[in-house]
Structure 1
Amino acid sequence: MSLFLRLAIGFILLIMLCWGSASLSAWHQTRETVNELFDTQQMLFAKRLLALEPATLQNVTLPKNKALLNHHRGKQDDDALAFAIFSGDGKLLLNDGEKGRDLQFADGRDGFRNGHLRGDDDSWRLLWLTSPDQRYRVVVGQEWDYRDDMTSDLAQSSIVPWLIALPFMLALLLALVWFELRPLKRLTASLHQRAADDDTPLPLARLPKEVQPLVLALNGLFSRMADLVQRERRFTSDAAHELRSPLAALRVQSEVIQLADDDEIVRKRALQQLDTGILRATRLVDQLLTLSRVEADDLRSEFQPTALAPLLQSVLAEHFPQAEQKHIDLQLHTTFQPVMNGHQLLLALMLRNLLDNALRYTPDGGQVTVNLTARTLTIDDNGPGVSDEALTRLGERFWRPPGQTQTGSGLGLSIVKNIAQLHAIRVAFSQREAGGLRVTLSW
């Protein structure tokens, strides 16, 4: 169901409920006012009758009002008011010539009560008053139906105009709602016509303030989706580009194995090359997936306090066999025990990549020194280092300094820089005075 239809139904129900409640309240208030007015009228009229001296009268009937009024072109309701005066013992002394003749004498207390006329089932409101000397009693009556009719007429006179105006008011209200919903309709049409890869922000002009947060949220979603699509495209392109060479090498080694029928040496060498190529392709895929995850996910919600010294010791212990194989002196110097709020697995991956780079590019018999202080971590090696021009490009995706003999994909330092950026760690590469490369992490 559309928003306009829901609002229309809601407005109709709300207006009808409010109009019904107001009509009922108006009818009750009008009834109370009419009863108070007519009770006051009956009381004043009864007091005027008490001021008469009807003791000398004996069943006097006044002329009928209708004849007088018709002669003077007037109108009167028989039920509007009726009166009679009785003696103390119940004899009728005076009546109005209309309904008053049917008023029945009642003894008892003075005041208002409900009763009936002789031969009439309609309910009347009767007021009885007794003269101070107890010689006669006055009764003034009025039919309840007359009061109810008067109440209905007065209530309708104030309610019916509003009832007539309700359709026009509702039509204007719905027209106003339809007019105010036009920005949402334009926004919907714009979204329908939007291309899947269009990340252009939606304009905020001519939009109500209540809709602007929605459009801002949509613009943010478009931006995030565009980044996600861009990362996915870059990942697909990088994977296709970088896996082409290892897969081609694997295919060549597979063909060599097939062609080496009886040459065991060639077959063995091809199998070794095949195993090396598989390891290289596996490592490349792992690095691509890791880089994609670090770039795509905001893992700050998984951060926790991490002690860097034990983590660094654990990573160094993993690389001791690699260092011993090349007779590299791997040293760790810690003067503080800093604790960082971060993702432990990603921090370990960052340190592992830095140590792996340092050990792979350090020649046999070289030295790799790791220094940990309260706010910095440095990794020094005495390898060949890189040129000043190459220092500025370290960490670019799939870029490796020229002249390198070690195998690699150029993703290790890219992963390091992305993890460091996630943890607000600054990464700096510099030349050592004694030769080699220094990597400095500061936070």
Structure 2
Amino acid sequence: MFSKRSIRRRFLFQLIVASAALVLLFSSFLYLFIKQSIYDEKQAELIGYAENISSYRSLLSSQQGNADTLMGLSVELITLNPNEEYLEFHETTHHDKTTSLTLIYPFDFAKSSYLKISRDITPTKRLLRKILNSIFLINAVGFVVIILYAIAFSKMLIAPISSLSRRLANMNEHLIRPIKVEQLPDEFEPLGETLNRLMGRIQNFVKYQKELFIGAAHELKTPLAVIKLKNQVTLLKKRTPEEYIEAIKVTNQSVDDMNRIVANILNIGRQEGAQLEAPAEADIIAILRKWEGDFSLLAQSENKKLLSRFEPDAFIAVLQVTLLNQILQNFLQNALKFTPEGKTILFQSYLNGADIVIEVLDEGCGIDESVDLFAPFIRQGNKSGVGLGLFLAKSAAEAIGAQISLSNRTDGIDGTLARLVLPSKLCCLLPQR
């Protein structure tokens, strides 16, 4: 009915064992309590008879006219050699399968005589057996009811999971619908929200992959068309060596364009491999200072200035450093590309609550915020490039659980603000020295 890995199977097995042990213990303790109570009453009765005989020399001195209580009662006077005064009860089973309860009670110490009072308790034993059978029967019925309820309850618990599984099994990349979390039990609402976020990422991935495929085909088609057209024109008639050289240069330029497209597509594959790397502990501020040193020299060579302002002094994160470096490199390269000569680029970090925010602000022409610049092959302005850098940065940010955004500056200066937010769950602040 259930596989060995089934949660229901383990739940029902553990419940059956626990319920059986509980029923057995409860039945045993209840039976022992009832039995002890009845035996205590029988022993007290025998002691009462013995005290009446010792004190009044009569069994009925305290129970006049109640002769029924003497049925099955046997009284003897015996002689023993005891070391001290004592009471002794013992139970005896006879050949005729009757059972008697016997009391040895001191009668005359001077003569070492004792009363031996026996009572037939066979009806009491039968009553106790009936009580025991009734207890186990009632508890067995209760045990079956518990198991049936547990089966129904476990089925009810896994019903939301089964419903989610059926919905997910019927989905494909063309038909992904979010789960209505308000229809789920409260305990499964976080799972529904997590699945919705996952499906959103899958939708974006499928969307970008389609755009990447179409964009790559389009981008590669253009230089190929240029090469073919240039070659066809060149072959129409004989040309001078200079004209052939010019045609070859155009062809080489088109080949270089295709090489850049292929290289960027390969970078996407490398990034997907980097996402599989094991996260490592790294100091975010130390990584920022390294990039600041590298790009300061590039900015100087282009007559531009790179300013940095990093807070706090140290911040530890557990992530794929390769992906973080890819994001930072793209931010700084774009800022350097679009910032005119003589202008300044600001590279900074600061705390926002428990998160750390990394920003790169340039003084370029800004962006069109109505365009999804993170889509593949989307280019801004008249600068050269394939249009895959921000797409790669977006994918890397999603892989490390960070948030990435691109907007125009709002501090009165023309330019673009690129922001990366690393959540606190990835990071911890080091104590200041």
233-242 vs 254-263, which deviates more?
A: 254-263
Q: Secondary structure at 2:28's aligned position in 1?
A: helix
Give the whole-Å Cα distance in 2 for the aligned partners of 1:183 and 1:395.
37
1:338 paired to 2:342: no
| Alpha-carbon distance, 1:19 to partner | 0.9
1:155 paired to 2:126: no
2:186 aligned partner, one-letter code: K
1:107 paired to 2:87: no
Query: Residues 332 and 8 (structure 1 numbering): CA distance in 2 closer, same or farther, change over 3 Å?
Result: closer
The residue aligned with 2:48 is 44
Give the whole-Å Cα distance in 2 for the aligned partners of 1:417 and 1:224.
11
| Alpha-carbon distance, 1:199 to partner | 2.5
The residue aligned with 1:95 is none
Give the whole-Å Cα distance in 1 for the aligned partners of 2:147 and 2:391.
65
| Alpha-carbon distance, 1:426 to partner | 4.5
* Counterpart contact for 1:353–1:413, Cα < 8 Å: no
* Counterpart contact for 2:361–2:417, Cα < 8 Å: yes
The residue aligned with 2:179 is 202
The residue aligned with 2:329 is 348
| Alpha-carbon distance, 1:191 to partner | 3.1
Give the whole-Å Cα distance in 2 for the aligned partners of 1:158 and 1:137.
40
2:342 aligned partner, one-letter code: T
The residue aligned with 1:368 is 341
Equivalent runs, 1:88-99 vs 2, <5 Å: 90=79
Q: Secondary structure at 2:342's aligned position in 1?
A: strand
Give the whole-Å Cα distance in 1 for the aligned partners of 2:326 and 2:81.
104
| Alpha-carbon distance, 1:256 to partner | 8.3
The residue aligned with 2:296 is 313
The residue aligned with 2:284 is 304
2:169 aligned partner, one-letter code: H
Query: Residues 27 and 249 (structure 1 numbering): CA distance in 2 closer, same or farther, change over 3 Å?
Result: same
203-212 vs 413-422, which deviates more?
A: 413-422
Structure 1, unaligned stretches of length 5 or more? 55-67, 91-105, 321-329, 359-366, 381-385, 433-437
1:240 aligned partner, one-letter code: A
**1:85 paired residue among 77, 88, 99:** 77
Q: Secondary structure at 1:127's aligned position in 2?
A: strand
* Counterpart contact for 2:296–2:305, Cα < 8 Å: no
Query: Residues 301 and 239 (structure 1 numbering): CA distance in 2 closer, same or farther, change over 3 Å?
Result: farther
* Counterpart contact for 1:31–1:151, Cα < 8 Å: yes
* Counterpart contact for 2:234–2:247, Cα < 8 Å: yes
35-44 vs 305-314, which deviates more?
A: 305-314
> Residue deviations 1:180-213, cap 9 Å, x none?
5544444333333334432311123443222222
2:332 aligned partner, one-letter code: L
1:350 aligned partner, one-letter code: F
> Residue deviations 1:358-395, cap 9 Å, x none?
6xxxxxxxx82232568685457xxxxx8x9x977898
1:35 paired to 2:39: yes
* Counterpart contact for 1:31–1:148, Cα < 8 Å: no
Give the whole-Å Cα distance in 1 for the aligned partners of 2:379 and 2:95.
116
* Counterpart contact for 2:87–2:103, Cα < 8 Å: yes
The residue aligned with 1:273 is 250
> Residue deviations 1:77-130, cap 9 Å, x none?
x6xx432124xxx4xxxxxxxxxxxxxxx3314311548799999996542223
The residue aligned with 1:19 is 23
| Alpha-carbon distance, 1:407 to partner | 5.9
Percent identical pairs in the alignment equals 14
* Counterpart contact for 2:231–2:247, Cα < 8 Å: yes
| Alpha-carbon distance, 1:32 to partner | 2.6
Give the whole-Å Cα distance in 1 for the aligned partners of 2:330 and 2:222.
25
The residue aligned with 2:423 is none
165-174 vs 230-239, which deviates more?
A: 165-174
Give the whole-Å Cα distance in 2 for the aligned partners of 1:200 and 1:414.
24
**2:118 paired residue among 118, 141, 162:** 141
Q: Secondary structure at 2:77's aligned position in 1?
A: strand
Give the greater-gyration-radius structure (CA).
1
Query: Residues 122 and 114 (structure 1 numbering): CA distance in 2 closer, same or farther, change over 3 Å?
Result: farther
1:225 paired to 2:225: no
Q: Secondary structure at 2:186's aligned position in 1?
A: coil
Give the whole-Å Cα distance in 2 for the aligned partners of 1:413 and 1:164.
68
| Alpha-carbon distance, 1:244 to partner | 1.0
* Counterpart contact for 1:114–1:126, Cα < 8 Å: yes
Q: TM-score, normalised by structure 2?
A: 0.64
> Residue deviations 1:307-353, cap 9 Å, x none?
36523323336xx4xxxxxxxxx32446x542378944533333334
2:110 aligned partner, one-letter code: Q
* Counterpart contact for 2:89–2:103, Cα < 8 Å: yes
Structure 2, unaligned stretches of length 5 or more? 59-66, 316-320, 349-359, 420-433
> Residue deviations 1:8-60, cap 9 Å, x none?
44443332221112112223323332332222122111112223549xxxxxx
> Residue deviations 1:131-174, cap 9 Å, x none?
35635421123579877555433333333233244434543553
2:284 aligned partner, one-letter code: Q
Give the whole-Å Cα distance in 2 for the aligned partners of 1:160 and 1:177.
26
The residue aligned with 1:61 is none
Query: Residues 280 and 185 (structure 1 numbering): CA distance in 2 closer, same or farther, change over 3 Å?
Result: closer
1:214 paired to 2:191: yes
2:303 aligned partner, one-letter code: Q
Give the whole-Å Cα distance in 2 for the aligned partners of 1:162 and 1:241.
76
